Structure 1
Amino acid sequence: MEILTVDFFQRALAGGLLIGLTAPLIGIFLVLRRLSMIGDTLAHVTIAGVALGFLIEVYPVGMGLIFAVIASFAIEKLRKAYKSYAELSIAIIMSGGVALASLFFTLGMGYNTDVVSYLFGSIYTLDTTDLYVVGAVTVVVVIVISLFFKEFFLLSFEEDAAAVSGLPVKLLNMLITIMTALVISTAIKIVGALLVSALLTIPAACSLIIARSFKTSVIYSVIIAEIAVVLGLMIAGIWNLAPGATIVLLLIAMLILTLLGKRGFKV
């Protein structure tokens, strides 16, 4: 197929495959910890950083990444302050992210079109710098999860038991939140801030239905995400559709099929 030989599509495919690996790896832990909405929160904060990046003429994805990491620290602090109402931290930070994004939109009327592209994704505009950033984040995420897989597993199912067993719960929580921030800040140019949460949660939702063990659920979630990314990009490229939206709609279709056939798919 001719589209596979085009440079911009090859970059898009490479970036999509990398995010298709890291997003579900982080997403499975977020889903199990009932923190699915953290993806939307950090995406809104990242957009504020991107808008500021355009305003002060600094690499937008880099500025968005900084904003997301700072927000991840704030979320953890607020989660500790409101232990019985942990979801408040997500609502508060999201409100701040939306407010900052709106403010920067107002200050930089001339670049609003560029920022809007980050809301819905612009995977075909990925350049070499973007790929290096996504690649670096992928390496960090894979290494951290490989080193602390058992610890993250216990933390996801029973945080109190993890603390009693002597695990550094505070550090582990911070690691997961920071990695989530890194993944989201690099993924918004691929699927968009409004859709990035789907890549974190839907593959995990599918895998938890068909898998019997935690390890297989992690593997299935990555496979499902990669299939959606590759097929979504191919379909979008051939029929000139929005790639981010196509990927997410494919994920939703896969979830529906999984739900309909969950008895037969149980392994």
Structure 2
Amino acid sequence: MQVNDNTFLITGAASGLGAATAERIVSGGGKVVLCDLSDAVEAHARSLGDAARAVRGDVTSGDDIQAAINTAIELADGRGLAGVIHCAGIVSVAKLLDRDGNPADLDAYARTIQINLVGSFNVMRLAAATMASNSPGADGERGVIINTASIAAFDGQVGQCAYSASKAGVVGMSLPAARELSRHGIRVMAIAPGIFETPMMQGIPDDAVAALSAAVPFPKRLGKPDEYARLAEQIITNPMLNGEVIRLDGGIRMQ
């Protein structure tokens, strides 16, 4: 599969990893539908020109994601939806017990699982149903799905029970989904980013950012969103990448 002349749906596309991925795909001759709850998604789509469309949508809503897919099909002009890069998600921090011994809020835990894990499944199921009807290309390929996990799936920190569990679920879905969708010619991959310069990092003190950067073996800095986008592009164009989770973290292992 190539980026040029193909159409992709990107969730969480108003900023950060999703926004950078949209920019890279458009620069490579592709078309994108940007899906996000943020008002900023429309401005970002306009900045990308005629190759981009914006859809305000919640990844946990079947109707919203189907509307985004329908927009992608229209934009594709008969070629169909070629792939999905699912970047939408939230970060949550909450200890099982607070300093007074009170238990964590169950609704907050469920919300993290609902957005990060159930949302990923929702996007994947609807995209797969659409791509399965595409005309096969080289090797019989009909589409590619790229989910976003996290190194927290493997190296979860104190207070990350909900976030780590949600991202571990994304990791766990990758292989069985790839095996199931192989008969339709659809590949499934996941990227597990480390610590990246995204809006999720806003508000963290400079000394904390410096400490996190120093913990990365090489390069000793936070990841840049375009580095995620470059890996997504490589996954799209390399048909042997399937059923795997790739850590993109500079070699960091959180303690």
* TM-score, normalisation: structure 1: 0.29
Higher relative strand content? 2
* TM-score, normalisation: structure 2: 0.30
Higher normalized contact order (CA 8 Å, seq sep 6+, divided by chain length): 1
Higher relative helix content? 1
